[in-house]
Amino acid sequence: MNMKNFRISLKLLKAQTLNYFTDPTNIVLNFVITSVTMLSWIAFKPVGSDGFSSDPFVLASAIAISQIRNSQHTFTTMLVDWRDKSFFKAMAQTPVSKRMVYSCMFIFNWLINLLMFVFLFSLAMFFANQRNALAKIDLIPLIIGFILNVVLSNLMALVIVQIFKNRDIATIFALISYFGPMYLLGLGIPWNVAGQIKMLNIITYLFPHRYPLNLIQASWSGFSANMEFPNVDPNSWLGIHGFGYNGQGWWLPAIISLAWIFGFLVLFILLINRNYPMRSKTKKYQKLSSYNLHKDSIDKIKHSNTLEELNQHIQLIKIDHQQYKKQSKSIKKLKVKKSKESQKNEAV
């Protein structure tokens, strides 16, 4: 990356930072509600006989829910906002590549997730039981779970934006897909309460985020090898079924998470082709002999930084097009000549 692209990337990241931290919704939903809910369960809920909280993975749940909030809800609202303001169309008219724009968006999103991880982790470390819980963590499956959770959330946001063109409807679905996991998958209501309700436990299998969240929660508790549920009555629903993977290890929720990711990726590609049909038609145009010439001309114009440079590119484009016309005429004459010769040979 050259210095010019680096400066552009910094400006894009700065714009997203200002947009994020000047929105009260982001501060309230992400920093305030998530941290207050987590601290409430850590500080006041019952403590088990082994000295650990009855839901020892509450910190992991809070971090995972904050990822869903940032990578899905916030990402959705940002994409919708920039789409409605024609930001992407405006950027398409500049030398800045689409790859750079989207890369900056994803980098910022992951940096915010890292910030929230540090924030929530620091708050939880004030409590001895949360510090003691660190000794039980299965680190590798935990990291895999966090990555799967973020990727799945990002893809769901992309799909929501492509399906719903109305800003309000897109925001509603983003909120539903955030508050559902928050209250039913281990933070708003402890999983040892919600998960004990058989019907609710079965319904949550339809939630895409259940699988990476369960992977994160079991890994934080040290039970990723068989996905058992910690600190519950062995005769209860969770005591018998654990996190609900029939005694299999963390590989099973990881594979199911990958299946959801693949499904949303395919759906996103199909929606892109439906919403932007010119993308598929471009492949047909690529077969034309003049395709590269016109593409180069457009690229030259887009990458012009000054009016003088633009005029120079226009003059070069005119010369290129004149040369192309001469070559085309020569090729046509040659084809006509060859066809006449072949006809004479056939007549003889």
Q: Which residue has the tokens 């998530």?
A: 34
State residue 116's pLDDT score: 92
Placement of tokens 């500080």 in the chain: 43
What is the model's pLDDT at position 51? 42
Q: CB within 8 A of 162, min separation 6: which ones?
A: 268, 271, 272, 275
Q: Specify the length of the chain in residues.
A: 348
Can you give the pLDDT at residue 49?
45
Residue 90, pLDDT score: 75
Provide the 8-state DSSP code for 204.
G
Q: Do residues 61 and 217 lie in contact, with contact meaning Cβ atoms separated by under 8 Å?
A: yes
pLDDT at 280: 52
Q: What is the DSSP string of 28-69?
A: IIIIIIHHHHHHHHHHHS-B-TTSSBSSTTHHHHHHHHHHHI
Q: What is the mean pLDDT of each run of 10 residues along the chain (348 residues)?
A: 75 84 82 86 63 70 92 89 80 73 88 93 90 91 95 94 90 89 86 87 93 95 91 86 91 96 95 74 56 62 66 68 67 64 62
Asked whether 192 and 53 are in contact (CB, 8 A), the reply is: no
Distance CA 59, CA 218 (A): 12
* Beta strands, E only, 97-231: none
